[in-house]
Structure 1
Amino acid sequence: MMTESYQNQAEWLLKEYVLADSFIPYTSVVFGIFACKMVYDVTQLFSTIYFKSYSNLSKLQRTEWNNRSISTMHAIFITVMALYFVFWSDLFSDSQHAGLITFRSSSLSTFALGASVGYFLADIGMIIWFYPSLGGMEYVIHHLLSVVSVAYSMMTGEGQLYTFMVLISETTTPGINLRWYLDTAGMKRSRAYLINGVVIFVAWLVARILLFLYLFYHVYLHYDQVKQMHLYGLLLVSIVPQVLAVMNMMWFWKIIRGLKKTLAKRQ
Structure 2
Amino acid sequence: MAIQSYDMLLKNFTLSSPYVPYTSMIVGIFACKLVYDLNHLLSAAYFKSYSNLSKMQRIEWNNRAISTIHALFITAMSLYLVFWSDLYSDQELKAFVTLQSSPLSTFALGVSVGYFLTDLAMIFWFYPALGGMEYVVHHLLSITSVAYAMLTGEGQLYTYMVLISETTTPGINLRWYLDTTGMKRSRTYLINGVVIFIAWLVARIVLFMYLFYHLYLHYEQVKQMHIIGRLLAFAVPPMLAVMNVMWFWKILKGLKKTLAKRQ
Secondary structure at the counterpart of residue 84 of structure 1: helix
Q: How many residues get paired? A: 263
The Cα of 1:96 is off from its aligned counterpart by: 1.6
Which residue of 173, 189, 194 corresponds with 2:169? 173
CA distance in 2, matches of 1:68, 1:62: 10
> Which structure 2 segments of 5+ residues have no match?
none
Whether 2:35 is the aligned partner of 1:27: answer no
Structure 1 counterpart of 2:14: 18
Which residue of 234, 245, 248 corresponds with 2:244? 248
Aligned-pair identity in percent equals 71
Equivalences for 1:66-105 in 2 at 5 Å? 66-105=62-101
Q: 1:98 to 1:60 in 2, by over 3 A?
A: same
Q: 1:35 to 1:266 in 2, by over 3 A?
A: same
Structure 2 counterpart of 1:106: 102
Whether 2:221 is the aligned partner of 1:238: answer no
Q: 1:44 to 1:220 in 2, by over 3 A?
A: same
Question: What code does the residue aligned with 2:107 have?
Answer: F
Structure 2 counterpart of 1:199: 195
Structure 2 counterpart of 1:127: 123
Secondary structure at the counterpart of residue 134 of structure 1: coil
The Cα of 1:11 is off from its aligned counterpart by: 6.5
Structure 1 counterpart of 2:138: 142
The Cα of 1:16 is off from its aligned counterpart by: 3.5
The Cα of 1:17 is off from its aligned counterpart by: 2.9
CA distance in 2, matches of 1:179, 1:251: 15
Whether 2:53 is the aligned partner of 1:57: answer yes
The Cα of 1:9 is off from its aligned counterpart by: 7.5
Question: What code does the residue aligned with 1:227 have?
Answer: K
Structure 2 counterpart of 1:151: 147
Question: What code does the residue aligned with 2:72 have?
Answer: I
CA distance in 2, matches of 1:10, 1:73: 25
Question: What code does the residue aligned with 2:75 have?
Answer: T
Q: 1:96 to 1:10 in 2, by over 3 A?
A: closer
Q: 1:94 to 1:14 in 2, by over 3 A?
A: closer
Whether 2:212 is the aligned partner of 1:220: answer no
CA distance in 1, matches of 2:86, 2:43: 41
CA distance in 1, matches of 2:261, 2:8: 62
Question: What code does the residue aligned with 1:49 have?
Answer: A
CA distance in 2, matches of 1:166, 1:228: 20
Report if the CA contact (8 A) 2:15-2:107 is conserved. no
| TM score, norm. by length of structure 1 | 0.95
Secondary structure at the counterpart of residue 247 of structure 2: helix
Cα deviation, 1:142-198, whole Å, max 9, x if unaligned, reads: 000000000000000000000000000000000000000000011111111111111
CA distance in 1, matches of 2:120, 2:22: 18
CA distance in 1, matches of 2:240, 2:139: 10
CA distance in 1, matches of 2:10, 2:207: 38
> Which structure 1 segments of 5+ residues have no match?
none
CA distance in 1, matches of 2:200, 2:15: 36
The Cα of 1:19 is off from its aligned counterpart by: 2.8
The Cα of 1:61 is off from its aligned counterpart by: 0.1
Question: What code does the residue aligned with 1:33 have?
Answer: I
CA distance in 1, matches of 2:210, 2:10: 39
Structure 1 counterpart of 2:112: 116
* More off after superposition, 216-225 vs 6-15: 6-15
Which residue of 178, 185, 192 corresponds with 1:182? 178
Secondary structure at the counterpart of residue 127 of structure 2: coil
RMSD value, Cα: 1.5
| TM score, norm. by length of structure 2 | 0.97
